[in-house]
Amino acid sequence: MSMVPVDYDGLIPNNVALGSDVRVKRALEKWHPGYIGWWMDMGPEGFQNALVYLRTAIGVDPKGWAKFDYVRMPEYRWGILLAPQREARKIPFGSHKGEDAWQEVPGEYRAMLRRLVVIQGDTEPASVEQQRHLGKTAPSLYDMRNLFQVNVEEGRHLWAMVYLLQKYFGTDGREEAEALLQRRSGDPDSPRMLGAFNEKTPDWLSFFMFTYFTDRDGKMQLEALAQSGFDPLSRTCRFMLTEEAHHMFVGETGVTRVIQRTCEAMKEAGISDPYEIDKVRKLGVIDLPTVQKKANMHFSLTLDLFGNEISTNAANAFHAGLKGRFREDRLKDDHELEGGTYPVLRLIDGQVKNDDAPALSALNMRLRDDYVADCQVGVDRWNKVIAEAGIPFAIKLPHVAFHRHIGEFSRTNADVDGNILSPAEWTHRRTDFLPSAADKDFIESLMQPQFETGKFASWIAPPKVGIDNKPGDFEYVKIADA
């Protein structure tokens, strides 16, 4: 592996020798003010002057790649960092399997590759936009810091994709880089590209669910793109995955702490029935059935991000060697999939049934299956907390047919167990599965800021350990400076 040291002196920290690449350096320096303008307009609202204890990537060595310090977010050093180049790397799958990995864009796949990079890039600023109001209702300075850490790193991931566009795609790459700063989450005229990134993240439970479920789609897609035969994309995604792990940690532990606080409060009050919702809510904590509804919402919205179960786009991207499967390099088959099949859940004669489809066409389905298995691991950990408290309740991932807007099940309505409902039944029962207006109002009523050092809002337990091993009373955000 060859490791290029990170150049930290210029405007844009990087390990891609930007100093000797005048054209790309100029293009990125030209893009920079627009990015800062976007960050000031659409980044965390009300805290741009606060000093935040953030980690910044300063290298790509798995040991010691980041340093922690107080930073004002607009001064964060957003850099371009690629994982080290693997010498003599070969294209690991598809029709070019075994050929040397591409260091330049293969002409015949240019449009397909650009589309993948643009879609990936579009999600990054979208999530910052979705989360921009949350600082004001942070349940602690610890959580506020984690939110801002996720936000600045999503900003860096946008830089990562913009670098690829500027370096490898010429004029149209530059235009796409501009357009990434123009679209806005939820804007009716110029929305973000994928559905879930135009939804609101109205409260902190949604933020934790988003970072658990939706950032995990990020993990799966980045793992698939990290396999790419286009080496710069592979290297970029490999390093992004290092940062992504913290985002899912924030989500998983965030939900765990919500559940833990609810269970503790129920035990203290002698309530063992999780469905005594009014009584539980009076304790200032979020009842478990509402936590379940939020999970239903974010899981189902995220499943849509895997696209159609049967997809020619996915088949073409694999065949071309651009987008692989989850951890392709650990799979034991021919990595070409020309003759194989894969079972796909479909709606056949009004029933949900497995149907074998050509493996190449079913790649979105396969990635989604891997995703569901990955989601279940954290859900099991949440359920351990509930079981240890002796409360008869378990969080369940809803059926993949539930509440879908893309793919096979978008044509129907299913309940959380996958039973098909008539439109009237769906309308009648919708709020049994998804948060009702009253549920949303209740959660909103709890979203009161807790900015005192070392204190936490009523509805969430403190973390087991601090960030960077800091003690419980550490001032993660110095708001006084805001």
**At 408, which amino acid appears?**
E
Q: Is 221 in the site for ligand BYC (CB under 6 A)?
A: yes
- Tokens 């995955």 sit at which residue? 241
Please answer whether residues 132 and 201 qualify as being in contact, where contact means their C-beta atoms are separated by less than 8 angstroms: no
User: Among 48, 242, 313, 412, which residue interacts with ligand BYC (rule: CB under 6 A)?
Assistant: 313
C-beta of 115 vs 174, nearer to ligand BYC: 115
Distance in Å, CB of 306 to ligand BYC, minimum: 6
Interacting residue with ligand BYC among 305, 352, 379, 457 (CB under 6 A)? 305
For residue 219, the tally of other CB atoms under 10 A from its CB is 18
48, 69 Cβ separation under 8 angstroms: no
Pick from 203, 217, 243, 369 the residue near ligand BYC by CB under 6 A.
217
The minimum distance between CB 406 and ligand BYC, in angstroms, equals: 5
By CB under 6 A, which span of 29-37, 55-63, 77-85, 298-306 interacts with ligand BYC? Answer: 298-306
Q: Does 306 bind ligand BYC (CB under 6 A)?
A: yes
Closest CA to 388 of 260, 209, 258, 252: 260
Using rule CB under 6 A, residue 191 touches ligand BYC: no
Interface pick for ligand BYC out of 153, 304, 369, 415 (rule CB under 6 A): 304
* Spatial separation of the C-alpha atoms in residues 227 and 324, rounded to whole Å: 5
Least Cβ distance, residue 257 to ligand BYC (angstroms):
20
Tell me, by CB under 6 A, how many residues bind ligand BYC.
25
List the structure tokens of 91.
Answer: 């294209």
Give the sign of the dihedral formed by CA 202, CA 70, CA 216, CA 161.
Answer: positive
CA distances from 482 to 121, 139, 201, 248, 361 (A): 29, 18, 24, 28, 52
Amino acid at 410: S
Binding mask 152-181 for ligand BYC (x = CB under 6 A): --x---------------------------
Is residue 81 part of the contact set for ligand BYC (CB under 6 A)? no
The CA distance from 369 to 367, in Å, is 5
User: What minimum distance in Å lies between the beta carbon of 281 and ligand BYC?
Assistant: 30
- Nearest Cα residue to 1 out of 91, 59, 84: 84
Contact status: 410 vs ligand BYC (CB under 6 A) = no
Alpha-carbon distances of 401 from 29, 405, 407, 413, 416, rounded to whole Å: 46, 10, 9, 8, 8
Cα dihedral 100/102/108/114 (nearest 10): 150
Q: Between residue 331 and residue 370, which ones bind ligand BYC under the rule CB under 6 A?
A: 364
The single residue among 135, 274, 307, 324 that binds ligand BYC, judged by CB under 6 A, is 307
Identify residues 117-156 at the interface with ligand BYC (CB under 6 A): 119-120, 123-124, 127, 154
Q: Which residue is nearest to ligand BYC (CB)?
A: 307
- Of 48, 242, 308, 436, which lies in the binding site for ligand BYC, with binding defined by CB under 6 A? 308
* R_g over Cα of the chain: 23
Write out the residues near ligand BYC by the rule CB under 6 A: 116, 119-120, 123-124, 127, 154, 194-195, 214-215, 217-218, 221, 304-308, 311, 313-314, 323, 364, 406
